C-alpha cells in the first residue's frame, strides 16, 4: 500500500470519519496479494491489536522519558482497553499529565479504558 493512502486513512480515522476496525479492513483488502490466503477479518483483528499495542507502548515510553512511574493499575488497563482509540488519546495526554492516572480522566463522549 502506498504511504499516502495509509496516511489518508489515518487522517480519516483521527477525524472520527473512519473507525480503526474499518481502517484495518480496508488495509487488509488493499494489502492482500493474489497468493495471500489470510482472512480479511483475522488480518484486521491483528492489525487493530498491534496498532493499539504500539500506541500503548509509546504512551509508556513517553511517561518513562518524563520520569513518571506507571503502576500496574494503569499499565494493565492501557494494554487491555476495549476501545482501540484510547491509547492514542492517552498518548496526547501523556505529554502534559502529572500522574499516570490522569491519562484516563473521562472526557465527554469517550469511554474510560475499563469500558465504563
- 64, containing H or E segment: helix 40-65
Cell of 6: 495509509
pLDDT in tens, 70-88: 998 888 888 887 777 788 8
Residue 25 contacts residue 51 (beta carbons within 8 Å): no
Residue 12 contacts residue 18 (beta carbons within 8 Å): yes
- Distance (Å, whole) CA 14 – CA 89: 10
pTM strictly above 0.75:
no
pLDDT in tens, 47-68: 888 888 888 999 999 999 999 9
Amino acid at each position: 500500500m502506498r504511504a499516502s493512502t495509509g496516511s489518508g486513512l489515518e487522517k480519516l480515522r483521527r477525524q472520527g470519519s473512519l473507525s480503526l476496525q474499518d481502517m484495518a479492513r480496508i488495509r487488509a483488502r488493499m494489502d492482500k496479494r493474489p497468493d495471500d490466503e489470510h482472512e480479511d477479518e483475522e488480518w484486521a483483528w491483528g492489525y487493530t491489536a498491534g496498532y493499539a499495542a504500539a500506541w500503548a507502548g509509546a504512551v509508556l515510553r513517553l511517561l518513562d522519558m518524563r520520569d513518571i512511574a506507571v503502576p500496574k493499575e494503569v499499565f494493565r488497563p492501557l494494554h487491555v482497553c476495549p476501545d482501540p482509540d484510547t491509547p492514542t488519546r492517552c498518548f496526547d495526554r501523556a505529554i502534559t499529565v502529572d500522574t499516570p492516572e490522569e491519562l484516563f480522566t473521562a472526557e465527554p463522549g469517550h469511554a474510560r479504558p475499563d469500558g465504563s
